[in-house]
Structure 1
Amino acid sequence: MTVWLFDLGNTRLKCAPLQNDGRVGPVQAIAHTALDGADAMADALARALPPRIGVAHVASVASEAQRVALLDALTARCGRIGLARTQPRFAGLRIAYAQPQRLGVDRFLAMLGARAATPEAVLVCGVGTALTLDLVDAAGGHRGGRIAPSPTLMRESLHARAAQLPIEGGAYREFADDTLDALASGCEGAALALIRDAQHAAQRTLGATPRLIVHGGGAAPLLSQLPDAQFEPSLVLDGLAVWAQVEHA
């Protein structure tokens, strides 16, 4: 029986098979621009998937319309579909939120994936549409987190209010001498400052420095300034793999 994992985020759909050893197989990423409408979703999945699959495990933080389009497209080729949801306790992870359903399933799964990667305390940083930070101690206790705009969203917001400021381009500099570099430096620098502040706060909270694990489609530009970071590009899918195996146990 083939098992596939689907992470429907705010900008991309990522999918991969779950291998027999419990690891995530080759990941395919499809931009939302290629998924506009039920027919487009079905066409995209026809190119990405085998004609039939046994089980699909889905995590979604996208719009209701996109989630429904994905589930409808999967129904046509899948025997069973499971929808991951944030749980207060799961696989040794204990969520800090008094109302766990208010914690995005992507953050929940990223923490599961990080816990599977290391038994140490971790500071999990996701860089997508938003920049998220979640602290998990070595015993699996979630100590809470932070949410801010990602550098990409900062650039888009600036461009929306001032069209002369480009959405893309530039490189990080300590003190930039042109506008493109200044935009990249300011937006990436704001994200880096938040991450570093969270690292210091985590050290004070735990009495030790947690491992920094970074994931998400917008993480790459930050990594050169975070030499201590462990980059896990498909951390949400890694967590979904944990979810799938516990659900089938």
Structure 2
Amino acid sequence: MNAWLFDLGNTRLKCAPLGADGRAGAAIALPHREEDVAEALAQVLPERIEVAYIASVAGPGLRVAVLDALTARSRRIAVARTQARFGAVRIAYADPRKLGVDRFLALLATHARGAGAALVCGVGTALTVDLIDHDGRHLGGRIAPSPALMREVLHARAPQLPASGGDYVDFAVDTEDALASGCDGAALALIERSLDAARERLGQAPQLILHGGGADALAAQLPNATQVATLVLEGLALWAGVEGAA
């Protein structure tokens, strides 16, 4: 079956073919603007798609632009939603609709990888932290601004502070490095404190899983982390396998 997976976030759009084995194929990153997305999709997708599976946490304008572009070439579109339970994975939220579908799918993929108990950290526009135990029980999470968003907000309020640039160091001697170190350091501190709390909760250290466009910068300071760039697409492929069989 000619099926494709689409992960539409607040800062990135990624897509991948769904293989006959039920796994996501090689991921493709596409422009993330309403005015560009239809043309970008037309250049990478087949003329016709049997099914388009999409997970979206983007704003309504971009979401509609992507759905319109997919409607023009897809026989069917299936939009992933967070579910209270999916296989062994059980979501902690009393109202599952409040848990972003990207976080839900990342948990599905993490559990399917057999990582055991894991702290799953997504680094995009937001920094999300979710704890899942060995049995697939989601124990809750945290949300904070990502380092990139911190920099953007600081720049918007104080234009003399650059929105990018600099390197992480313990004690910086220029503004760019101080900003990078402060914003990355805030994210690292949240992750490390969450790891400590998870260890106390579980009685053992969980695996640390990083994903998202901003994960690279943090991974360099977290040597025990496993980085999985396509974690949400992997989870979407699992969801598609069940949805397609329904």
Matches of 1:6 and 1:144, distance apart in 2: 25
SS in 1 for 2:169: coil
Letter in 1 for 2:37: M
SS in 2 for 1:109: helix
The Cα shift of 1:31 comes to 2.9
Over aligned residue pairs, what C-alpha RMSD do you find?
1.0
Letter in 2 for 1:86: T
Matches of 2:94 and 2:184, distance apart in 1: 32
Instruction: Check if 1:161 corresponds to 2:161.
Output: no
Q: Paired residue for 2:129?
A: 133
Matches of 2:238 and 2:198, distance apart in 1: 25
How many aligned positions are there? 245
1:208-248 residue CA offsets vs partner (Å, 9 max, x unmatched):
11100000000101111101100000111110011001112
Q: Paired residue for 1:23?
A: 23
The Cα shift of 1:130 comes to 0.3
Which of 192, 200, 204 is matched with 1:204 structurally? Answer: 200
Q: Is the 8 A contact 1:91 1:246 kept in 2?
A: no
Moved over 6 A (4+): none
Instruction: Check if 1:243 corresponds to 2:214.
Output: no
Q: Paired residue for 2:93?
A: 97
Letter in 1 for 2:235: G
Matches of 1:186 and 1:63, distance apart in 2: 28
Q: Paired residue for 1:121?
A: 117
Matches of 2:38 and 2:162, distance apart in 1: 34
Matches of 1:156 and 1:64, distance apart in 2: 22
The Cα shift of 1:36 comes to 2.2
Q: Paired residue for 1:86?
A: 82
Q: 1:1-20 residue pairs with structure 2 within 5 A?
A: 1-20=1-20
Q: Percent identity?
A: 63
Which of 139, 146, 165 is matched with 1:150 structurally? Answer: 146
Q: Is the 8 A contact 1:11 1:31 kept in 2?
A: no
SS in 2 for 1:147: strand
SS in 2 for 1:212: strand
The Cα shift of 1:119 comes to 4.4
Which of 42, 46, 49 is matched with 2:45 structurally? Answer: 49
SS in 2 for 1:144: strand
Q: Paired residue for 1:36?
A: 34
Q: Runs of 5+ in structure 1 lacking a partner?
A: none
SS in 1 for 2:205: coil
Q: Runs of 5+ in structure 2 lacking a partner?
A: none
Which of 212, 226, 230 is matched with 2:226 structurally? Answer: 230
Q: Is the 8 A contact 2:34 2:61 kept in 1?
A: no
Task: Report the TM-score, using the length of structure 2 for normalisation.
Answer: 0.97
